[in-house]
Structure 1
Amino acid sequence: MVKLYGFPLSTCTRLVALICKEKNIPYEFIQVDLVKGEQKASSYTAIHPFGQVPYIDDDGFILYESRAIARYLIRKYPNQGTPLIPSDPKANALFEQAASIEAFNFTTFIQPIVYEKLFKPRRGLQTDEERVSVMLAMLQGKMDAYEVILGKQKYLAGDSITLADLSHLALGALFYGLGGAFAEVFDSRPNLLRWWKDISNRPAWLAVKDGP
């Protein structure tokens, strides 16, 4: 059985758990307490040199970085659960395009907002509202492009769901949950909202959204 080492509130940990659910892969979740700094212990960094979560132990095969883990699990079980990475060269190229969109046109802007509005206050730090405003303004243009893409097809890579779509969920849910102007980014764009409601109501996500 795959052993998933991570933290319940970690968006990257939840992505890996989500893929396990989508692919019907049994896994054992082993908590690494980030609050206590367990990820920085020498015994941990001997396995994960960056001292981050998650990593998996698949019968002795160690792998970290959530996107790499997700691809590995999907490719290891191609005929199990939901097909999430196309094998056809053109379809696969469109998937890789969509994956790049997620990484550089979504996560790049939403991650700093979530960090400033959610994670800094939890640590007793003051939110940099100017940074939030700048990131939010830049995000608007990116989401305009999403609206165009999703007006032509059901998902980011075409009419079948892929890892690229699912990779938005953990961070996107925290962002959308901020409400107000942040939720309005999705709510004001009908194609984007339709897509968001679709992916965020998948049974696999509902099973892990509050922790793996």
Structure 2
Amino acid sequence: MDDRNMVLNLMPNADFGYKVHGDPFSTNTRRVLAVLLEKGLFYEPITVDLKTGEHKRESFLSLNPFGQVPVFEDGNIKLCESRAITQYIAYVHSSRGTQLLNLQSHKTMGTLTMWMEIEAHQFDPFASVLTWEQVIKPLYGLETDQTVVEENEAGLENVLNVYEKRLGESKFLACNTFTLVDLHHLPNIQYLLGTSTKRLFENRPRVCTWVDDITGREAWKMACDHDKSWFGK
């Protein structure tokens, strides 16, 4: 069964009452949507308008005092921080849909955890700034700082050099199957593919193949299709 059919077949069968407070254009919100769709889970999307500052108002701060999206609700459980949310969903539904946590041994668990930390602390700091400067700022009518872009591209290149070597050892970053490690990279990569930073991925053959593989997943395509994944059209 291909990714598309798996997602479509799973989605109607699971109403767990999950709520996602966020913005479908937000990288962190998309990260959570991707996991829900990989698992074929139903959720209720609740839009938080970032442009009007709704995430800084008291009504939202009662959900997340740090004023950041998304917030995930599972009954009386309320979670923030997208990577924590994805791990919760993947663990609770470990036997459903795509197996995103490879926890077969202490070794695989350690490797998976390490690469999730690498994404968060090595890749994301550079990628998030590049996304902000080249994609988000123009949407707000702000000017891109090319000096900042160049500095962060230099940092990202060093990270991608490590990735290029690693991807010569396994098909995906943590192991030979798609996991949360790869999924966590998707939001920033997707935005950066529409910028000049795209060349940093294309110039590294193994990284380029990896990017093609993970961005081509049906669940991810659906996560990026706001009409379907968020507004239900």
TM-score, structure 1 normalization: 0.95
Could you say what secondary structure the match of 2:44 adopts? Answer: strand
* 1:50 matched residue in structure 2: 66
Cα separation, 2, equivalents of 1:204 and 1:102: 20
Cα separation, 1, equivalents of 2:111 and 2:165: 16
* 2:171 matched residue in structure 1: 154
Cα separation, 2, equivalents of 1:40 and 1:137: 33
Could you say what secondary structure the match of 1:168 adopts? Answer: helix
Cα separation, 1, equivalents of 2:127 and 2:79: 26
Cα separation, 1, equivalents of 2:29 and 2:129: 18
* 1:4 matched residue in structure 2: 20
Note the C-alpha offset of 1:210.
3.3
* 1:195 matched residue in structure 2: 210
* 1:39 matched residue in structure 2: 55
Note if 1:124 corresponds to 2:141: yes
* 2:37 matched residue in structure 1: 21
Match of 2:112 among 82, 87, 95: 95
* 1:173 matched residue in structure 2: 190
Cα separation, 2, equivalents of 1:103 and 1:44: 25
Moved more, 118-127 or 10-19: 118-127
* 1:137 matched residue in structure 2: 154
Cα separation, 1, equivalents of 2:211 and 2:74: 32
Matched to 2:56, the amino acid is K
Could you say what secondary structure the match of 1:29 adopts? Answer: strand
Note the C-alpha offset of 1:124.
2.2
Once superposed, which parts of structure 1, at least 4 consecutive aligned residues long, lie more than 3 Å away? none
Match of 2:200 among 180, 185, 203: 185
Could you say what secondary structure the match of 2:97 adopts? Answer: coil
Cα separation, 1, equivalents of 2:34 and 2:76: 22
Matched to 2:188, the amino acid is L
Question: What is the RMSD computed on CA atoms of the aligned residues?
Answer: 1.1
Could you say what secondary structure the match of 1:153 adopts? Answer: coil
Gaps of 5+ in 1: none
Note if 1:63 corresponds to 2:61: no
Cα separation, 1, equivalents of 2:148 and 2:122: 17
Cα separation, 2, equivalents of 1:200 and 1:19: 14
Gaps of 5+ in 2: 1-16
Cα separation, 1, equivalents of 2:215 and 2:138: 26
Aligned length: 210
Cα separation, 2, equivalents of 1:144 and 1:41: 42
Match of 2:100 among 81, 84, 87: 84
Note the C-alpha offset of 1:125.
2.0
Cα separation, 1, equivalents of 2:53 and 2:157: 36
* 1:204 matched residue in structure 2: 219
